[in-house]
A and B are shown apart, each in its own frame.
Chain A
Amino acid sequence: MGGDGYLISATGLVKRFGDFTAVAGIDLGVRRGEAFGFLGPNGAGKSSTMRMIGCVSPPSEGRLSILGLDAASHGPQIRARLGVVPQQDSLDVELTVLENLTIYARYFGIPRAVAQRRAAELLDFVQLADRAGDRVEPLSGGMKRRLTIARSLVNEPELVLLDEPTTGLDPQARHLVWERLYRLKQRGVTLVLTTHYMDEAEQLCDRLVVMDGGRIVAEGSPSALIARFSTREVVELRFDLADLDGARGRDIADTLTGLADRVEVLPDRLLLYTADGDATVTAVTDRGVEPMSVLVRRSSLEDVFLRLTGRTLVD
């Protein structure tokens, strides 16, 4: 543990690939037992940051300390205490489900008997015990993901890194993964995850940073971020695509001036940020604007991101 009380602490962290700067100088600190998230669109620098934290990618600049050890010089020692769930499942297709766990444990130098016992427990934990002897290939995406999560836990890590843990999974599979991750958190395991899903960040993270273009643009708990960068409610007005084209979109927005704290014009809809959604809807109809459909909802991290970057997260 570092003197500053952080499990992970980074200052001025930079990652460059040739001329391309993936991470452009970030500072962060993750405390023991918290679930910390990197939120941002593809290419924001989340995965590069994760790989640096996983000690499989040396930082180009800056200082990175993990579990109180310097990432640049203590890679193997740090990795011994980490669990890693990479963005793409890298399961060993030549081994069975169970062997994927036991052999992985051996890479950590864990004795065979211990590896066997833990592998069995972990398969129970991720609800794959009945597939122990099967090959990996025929498993569904959700099952592979759960197996990868189980694999990341064979060394009983203090810190688990999850890169896009539920991308590409169907809703049911996602909820199962979330539920397992929540249990891990309950056990006191520190979770660091990247996601470009708002709901995932809101579900899992105690605290998160929003990344864009290799930089951190905001930091805080999901609710604090929403409170700071958005309003309580959002009114979505959906229009015909042609109506929002260029100048006409701005015309409609002008008509609505003063009805909301802020108005965003998207290609297919207008977003009105307001404290009282229903009151705003009434005011909109009073001004003679007639959208195709109207939706009042609570603000989410998506709105925070839109506010911070001027772009939506998932295009």
Chain B
Amino acid sequence: MATTVRAVPRGRAAHVLAYHLVGYRRTWRATVFSSFLLPVIYLAGIGLGVGGYVDRGHHLGVAYLSFLAPGVLATTALTIGVEESTYRVFSQFEWDRTYEAMLATPLRVVDLLLGQLAFVVFRALVAVVVFLAVMAAFGTVHSPWAVAVVPVGGLIALACAAPTFAFTATQSSAQGFSVLQRFAVIPVQLFSGVFFPVSQLPAPVRPLAYLSPLWHGVELCRGLTLGTLHPWPALGHLAYLAVWAGVGFALAARTFRRRLVV
């Protein structure tokens, strides 16, 4: 590549982030609306309904709402991570062709990636902060450590977004996203200990749940909001999520280059 000889301005990824933020300025209302409303709906729905039935049984040692809420928070981070990395990224390849336009400037592929991933993390952070406030209003925050779920939420989003970016760059049509949704996202959401403890799964499939980045995210968030997190397992969970983010980024850089630099 001839890009090495050109003198290029600094902070290029920041420009990409700025680009996405400018777009977001027009659309933030709808997303904030949903990132506030969805948790309210969720927590109120469970609190009003099924939570009462679960609490009769005292299986969990804590109110079902308190058990569920941090799990749903982690799931929100995952959902944003994946959503922002599928159709949105795909349309920039195929429909709006933003990437093509960006690469006609001094920007490099890694700048596009870093800038847009930073935007995804930003989106997740906003949603997590709002979610945490809603959780507090529902009385499901039991420890001051709960504030730490904010950066953890960002990390979960990054760990899910980076590999999804890599996947999206390999897709020639939008059809692959429903497959991703059904074979990866939904199973992960259902069996990562969000709605019921992983210990309830049959022993042979339990290790699959441990592979899911969401399980690690849920463990972290739940430990933080209930105040039951121990440092060593916490480090393990963080490291595992960081590996997903790192490997995902490397893969994304490869697949993006293969698609854009031809």
Contacts and interface: CB of A to CB of B under 8 A. Distances in A.
Touching chains A and B, CB distance < 8 Å: yes
Interface of A: 94, 135, 137
Contacts of B172: 135, 137
Contacts, number: 3
Contacts of A135: 172
3 contacts: A94-B173, A135-B172, A137-B172
Interface residues of B, number: 2
Contacts of B173: 94
Contacts of A137: 172
A137 B172 CA distance: 10
A79 B172 CA distance: 33
A94 B173 CA distance: 8
A94 B172 CA distance: 10
Interface of B: 172-173
B120 to A, nearest CB: 27
Nearest to B175: A94
A281 B172 CA distance: 60
Nearest to A94: B173
A137 B173 CA distance: 11
A144 to B, nearest CB: 15
A64 B173 CA distance: 41
Contacts of A94: 173
A211 B38 CA distance: 54
B99 to A, nearest CB: 16
A128 B173 CA distance: 23
A313 B172 CA distance: 40
Nearest to B173: A94
Nearest to A135: B172
Q: Which 3 A-B pairs have the closest CB atoms?
A: A94-B173, A137-B172, A135-B172
A243 to B, nearest CB: 36
B50 to A, nearest CB: 40
A53 B31 CA distance: 42
A137 B94 CA distance: 10
A225 to B, nearest CB: 40
A94 B175 CA distance: 10
A242 B175 CA distance: 58
A65 to B, nearest CB: 39
A176 B29 CA distance: 50
B171 to A, nearest CB: 13
A137 B93 CA distance: 13
A135 B172 CA distance: 11
B51 to A, nearest CB: 44
Nearest to A138: B172
B165 to A, nearest CB: 21
A293 B173 CA distance: 53
B170 to A, nearest CB: 15
A276 B172 CA distance: 60
A111 B147 CA distance: 66
A111 B172 CA distance: 31
A137 B171 CA distance: 14
A265 B128 CA distance: 65
A302 to B, nearest CB: 33
A5 B172 CA distance: 51
A179 to B, nearest CB: 31
A71 B173 CA distance: 38
A18 to B, nearest CB: 23
B186 to A, nearest CB: 24
A147 to B, nearest CB: 19
A50 to B, nearest CB: 25
Nearest to A93: B173
A168 to B, nearest CB: 15
A194 B161 CA distance: 47
A135 B173 CA distance: 11
A208 to B, nearest CB: 35
A289 to B, nearest CB: 44
A122 to B, nearest CB: 25
A200 to B, nearest CB: 28
A84 B173 CA distance: 27
A45 B173 CA distance: 36
A137 B95 CA distance: 11
Nearest to B174: A94
A196 to B, nearest CB: 25
